[in-house]
Amino acid sequence: MRIPAFLLLPLVLWIVAACSSGNQGQSEPRTEVDAILQGLSLEQKIGQMAQLNIEVFINRQDGKLTHPIRLDTAKLVEAIQKRGIGSIMNTAGQAMELEDWHYITETIEYVQEQGGKIPIIYAIDAVHGTNYVAGSTLFPHQLGMAATWNDSLVRRMGEVTALESRAAGIPWIFSPILDVARQPLWVQFFETFGEDSYLAQRMGTAITLGYQESEWPVAACAKHFVGYGFPFTGKDRTPVQIGERALRELHVPAFEASIHQGLRSIMIGSNEFDGVPMLASEYWVNEVLRKEIGFDGVLLSDWADVAHLSDWHRVAKDTLEATRMAIEAGLDMAMIPNDYSFCDDLLRLVKDSMISESRIDASVRRILQLKWEMGLFDEINRPKMDAFATKENSDEAYEAAVEGITLLKNESDILPIDPAERIFVTGPTAHSLVHLNGAWSRTWQGADTVIGKEGRPSVLEAMRASNPDLIYLEGSSVEEVGDLDRVRSEAKVASVIVLCLGETPATEKPGDRRDLTISDAQLALANAVLDLGKPVVVVLLQDRPQIVASIADRCAAVVMGYRPGNEGGRALADLLFGKRNFSGRLPFTYPSSVNDLMTYDHKFAETIGPDWGPTGFQPQWEFGYGLSYTRFEYEGLSLNKMAYSIDDTIQVSMHVKNVGGRDGNEVVQVYVRDEIASITPSVKRLRDFKKIGLQAGEEEEMHFSIPVRALAFVGLDNAWTTEPGWFTLKVGDLEERFEVID
């Protein structure tokens, strides 16, 4: 990429150094960025703070995309050369081929070189892989990745996604989601790392490092600061109704952990907290995120959220006032996304002295720094095309699916299934790549069958590879009952029934639901096959824990598949047939009823049932739960001492042995309970974990180091504190008590 002439003098020394050592992903002293900033007019600075939708520039014929895709260069000239727009985002309604992405990014680059002063940074949602690039590797969604409890797999997902995004010419991705999902009715539950703050911190930092520290790094944009994953009603973009203490203790830490690993950008949530939209909250954005935590990266709004301060939230009388509120709160860049209204309003605010130009400079400086760190002022390089969508990348996605898929029930060891048995497969998700991948899979909602053209096997097809004679009938769709008499007739001859259930893919507002119960049509199908008295293996491909209590007790086995991605069919078949062993563990509490949505780290008062006994917490399956084809036993739990000061580290050890007949992976989970505290303590909190592989009969001594300060909670003054007193540490079915002293 040719650097504009006015930048050559301040950049020359940096370019010499970059050519000798490689500059992509490396920061440059702030003085160089300031030199660029000083060369911009006010209008150009404001342009840098605007992000437009690629649809603004795409030519269509009769409302349809042309092939190949073509951009309106006159509109690009207006945006880039005249307005100085800083970023373009999104896709043309569906995934595009690499060639189309190269045409788009290279055309934008060319127009910028002809008269735009600053490179454009292109951004895209990359939710479980580079999902808007046709043919890219699709991993399990984040919930399924969390179920692996394997940091290294999560980091590898980030590395593959970064490489394949850069192959398309995209250096900025809207991922990861660091919301802690405490409300399973919420539609984006599957896009998170689950309900636990510590698990979200571990997985979030792993994927952030994968994105930003790989050979071909992208800038990560974590979503959605803050509390977005706990809407009171379960509806997307609605109020969070919890206290500040809980928000700080449970929802902020995942963002803070990734910030400490160099997170480059954050998207502000569309939710409100205590009556204040997060985008307009000077307290949460400026005071907490900027000053307390020290985040100095780029802050981006979500889709049209500045305007929504006026038309949705009703805290601003018009877009001018909405823009002022967002900028004063700390916003750097607005996803407008389809016009120049934000730019016009912001220019007026500065000229009317309602916003200072120095405030504009602060945001533009951060945006320029981001572009510099991503190497956009230098020649743009891409990975070789033979590194895109390789078999190695697919194998990584397969391993992630295998390690995440979770066995929840296996009565009488009905699994694994002998491939030679007479197998009947039914259910709406059995023969569908759509249900394996879910939303954000080539299209926004993911319901388009285009994903089925990519040559990956469904669950049915993968099972048929081992048993060509198995019998299949769909039985029902997600919402409509099929010919159940025929299902019963065909199933009668089978020795085992595999019933694949789930929910229709959806995300954001279109996916709002009012009920967690699995659909009536699927329950009718389930009861039809369960009434036959044959062993039924239920496979769940879904975005969240749907209520299955009415059938769970009657099933022989239950498998939680999450949204395991393009390799999920192969992974599920190999697990069901015993070619691979289950090792996934739930990253959330699976409820047994629609109104009993308690998390694992609930309070002691919540354990009290109607009989005044400890019967209040009765989930279908607990957080961290999962079965295997082998068994593990724990013994010899010990701590290095029984009393610790605040600056000590608790040294934990125990032995874990594989006492079953198969090799397997175990997730060793360490929980701590604060017995008495000034804030009502949880019954337990996850404090550490490790995933290990043990051969049949093998034993390993495990060691954990937990700083006493890691047991802190947010107190009445909204500050972190670790109080003296007694604690109980629990690993498996073993417990040890210890004391923290002054």
Handedness of CA 491, 494, 495, 498 (dihedral sign): negative
Which domain does 426 fall in, by range?
391-600
Rounded to the nearest 10°, the torsion over CA 638, 641, 647, 650 is: 0
Alpha helices in 433-491 (DSSP H): 433-437, 459-464, 484-491
- 319 and 205 both lie in a single domain: yes
Determine which helix (DSSP H) or strand (DSSP E) holds 87, and give its type and residue range: strand 87-89
The 3-state secondary structure of 683-706 reads CCEEEEEEEEEECCCCEEEEEEEE
Assigned domain for 555 exists: yes
Confidence of residue 31 (pLDDT cuts 50, 70, 90): confident
pLDDT tens-digit map of 497-555: 999 999 999 999 999 999 999 999 999 999 999 999 999 999 999 999 999 999 999 99
CA–CA separation, 630 and 20 (whole Å): 54
Assigned domain for 608 exists: no
- 641 and 503 both lie in a single domain: no
Assigned domain for 624 exists: no
Is a pLDDT exceeding 70 seen at residue 4?
Answer: no
Q: Percent of the chain at pLDDT above 90?
A: 91
- 176 and 287 both lie in a single domain: yes
CA–CA separation, 252 and 245 (whole Å): 10
Q: Which CATH number covers residue 686?
A: 2.60.40.10
Handedness of CA 175, 254, 335, 449 (dihedral sign): positive
Is a pLDDT exceeding 80 seen at residue 430?
Answer: yes
Assigned domain for 606 exists: no
- Tell me the residue type at 41: S
pLDDT tens-digit map of 185-215: 999 999 999 999 999 999 999 999 999 999 9
Q: Percent of the chain at pLDDT above 70?
A: 96
Single residue among 364, 382, 400 that ends a domain in this structure:
382
CA–CA separation, 245 and 677 (whole Å): 14
Is a pLDDT exceeding 50 seen at residue 16?
Answer: no
Confidence of residue 117 (pLDDT cuts 50, 70, 90): confident
Is a pLDDT exceeding 60 seen at residue 399?
Answer: yes
Any idea what the Cα angle at residue 180 is, between residues 177 and 181, rounded to 5°?
100
**What pLDDT is attached to residue 29?**
53
Q: Which residues share a beta bridge with 609?
A: none
Contact 94, 448 (CB under 8 A): yes
**What pLDDT is attached to residue 379?**
79
Single residue among 382, 406, 422 that ends a domain in this structure:
382
Confidence of residue 20 (pLDDT cuts 50, 70, 90): very low
pLDDT tens-digit map of 141-178: 999 999 999 999 999 999 999 999 999 999 999 999 99
Q: Is 271 helix (H, G, I), strand (E, B) or coil?
A: coil
The number of residues in the chain equals 742
**What pLDDT is attached to residue 226?**
98
pLDDT tens-digit map of 268-319: 999 999 999 999 999 999 999 999 999 999 999 999 999 999 999 999 999 9
**What pLDDT is attached to residue 18?**
33
**What pLDDT is attached to residue 12?**
28
**What pLDDT is attached to residue 373?**
94
- 472 and 515 both lie in a single domain: yes
Is a pLDDT exceeding 80 seen at residue 6?
Answer: no
- 277 and 166 both lie in a single domain: yes
Mean of the per-residue pLDDT values of the chain: 94
Assigned domain for 163 exists: yes
- 539 and 573 both lie in a single domain: yes
Contact 7, 120 (CB under 8 A): no
- 636 and 683 both lie in a single domain: yes
| Rounded average pLDDT over 97-112 | 95
Assigned domain for 621 exists: no
Assigned domain for 612 exists: no
Q: Which CATH number covers residue 343?
A: 3.20.20.300
Q: Is 578 exposed, middle or buried (0-12, 13-18, 19+ CB in 10 A)?
A: middle
Single residue among 344, 360, 382 that ends a domain in this structure:
382
Contact 298, 332 (CB under 8 A): yes
Domain total for the chain?
3
Q: Is 525 helix (H, G, I), strand (E, B) or coil?
A: helix
CA–CA separation, 541 and 436 (whole Å): 7
Is a pLDDT exceeding 70 seen at residue 84?
Answer: yes
- 135 and 263 both lie in a single domain: yes
**What pLDDT is attached to residue 19?**
32
pLDDT tens-digit map of 322-357: 999 999 999 999 999 999 999 999 999 999 999 999
- 395 and 361 both lie in a single domain: no
Per the annotation, the verdict on 469 as an active-site residue is no
**What pLDDT is attached to residue 626?**
98
Catalytic residue among 125, 179, 302, 574: 302
Q: In whole angstroms, how large is the CA radius of gyration of the chain? A: 27
- 558 and 497 both lie in a single domain: yes
Contact 156, 210 (CB under 8 A): yes
Phi, psi angles (nearest 5°) of residue 740: -105, 125
- 648 and 580 both lie in a single domain: no
Contact 295, 261 (CB under 8 A): no
Q: Residue 16 carries which DSSP code?
A: H
Q: Which CATH number covers residue 585?
A: 3.40.50.1700
- 558 and 680 both lie in a single domain: no
Rounded to the nearest 10°, the torsion over CA 430, 433, 436, 442 is: -160
Assigned domain for 707 exists: yes
Contact 166, 215 (CB under 8 A): no
Is a pLDDT exceeding 70 seen at residue 640?
Answer: yes
pLDDT tens-digit map of 599-623: 999 999 999 999 999 999 999 999 9
Token pair 């947010």 is at which residue?
A: 714
Rounded to the nearest 10°, the torsion over CA 136, 139, 142, 144 is: 160
In 265-404, beta strands by DSSP E: 265-268, 272-273, 276-277, 298-300, 334-335
CA–CA separation, 564 and 557 (whole Å): 19
Query: Tokens at residue 122, please?
Result: 């292109």
